[in-house]
Amino acid sequence: MTDTPPDLAHADIGLVAALPIEISAFMDRCEKVRKYKGNDLTFRGGKYDRIKIACVEGGMGFARARTATQALIDAHSPAFVLSVGFSGALHADLKFGDIVIANAICDVHGQQLFLDLKMQSDPPGGLFVGKFLTADHIVRTVDEKRELGAKYDALAVDLESLAVAQVCRDAKVRFMAVRVISDDLTADLPPEILSVVGATGAVRIGAALGALWKRPGSATDMWKMRDHAIKAAGKLATFLDGVVVQLHEASKSAT
């Protein structure tokens, strides 16, 4: 009788992010990280302590998130999948760096999915649990955020979480959406973000140069936004430290 060889492709926890900057801080905490690309997707795999992590960076938007999530499940069969990354606050109580976790996710087309999540908000600790809105575009202005928050009774907005949740539901994979507030209701995002940042998260050089020509101050705004993004990713990574361990323990106890 021979022992069954270990499934080296299998991951305990799968992470779906749109952009490398959203998840790099957490993946830097993992060991033996390997990277490969396929079908316009970037995968990273490594070990967080003894927990096998697989991450896919799929780019921004609903369709790309669906494709990335399915590819992650097909390739690595994780017990849990997390939609992770940045989100915009839709409520004045949420500040930059706060963590938001979804107990429901809706979109602007009437789709809604409720999640079985037994977790309470801790506002003094910067943790909020509530509904996410998945939008069709980057929500840039404070006015639009306030309007969407009131209309959909949602805490935060992103571009991918509902897509990831739907694929996981159909594949019968346990799911969780964990995001960090990268932009709150204190200021609009710079207008150039809509043209400079492509769907994959790569900067469009021509658009960036054009924005700089039209408004020289845009360079300062974009660098500030990048600095904010790096800090937000660090806060998300710190929170994921605990979440990954807890989910792994839950999956072991369930088997």
Q: Which residue has the higher pLDDT, 190 or 104?
A: 104
Range 225-241 average pLDDT: 89
Q: Please give the pLDDT value at position 207.
A: 39
Residues 6+ apart with CB under 8 A from 109: none
- Per residue in 12-71, pLDDT tens? 999 999 988 899 999 999 999 999 988 889 999 999 989 999 999 998 899 999 999 999
Q: How confident is the model at residue 189 (pLDDT cuts 50, 70, 90)?
A: confident
**Which residue has better confidence, 186 or 253?**
186
Question: Residue 93: left if φ>0, alpha if ψ -120 to 50, beta else—which one?
Answer: alpha
Euclidean distance between CA atoms 119 and 126, whole angstroms: 14
Whole-angstrom Cα distance, residue 158 to residue 179? 9
- Tokens read off for 188: 């609009």
The neighbouring-strand residues paired with 99 are 127, 180
Least trusted range by pLDDT, from 45-54, 213-222, 237-246? 213-222
State residue 250's pLDDT score. 78
Nearest to 193 by CA among 204, 179, 181: 204
Give the domains, in start order, of the chain with CATH numbers.
13-254 (3.40.50.1580)
Structure tokens at 221: 């705004």
Under 8 Å between Cβ of 93 and 100: no
Using CB atoms within 10 Å of the CB of residue 68, give its burial: 0 to 12 exposed, 13 to 18 middle, 19+ buried: buried
Phi, psi (5° rounding) for residue 57?
-105, 110
- Residue 1, pLDDT score: 40
Verdict on whether the full-model pTM lies above 0.85: yes
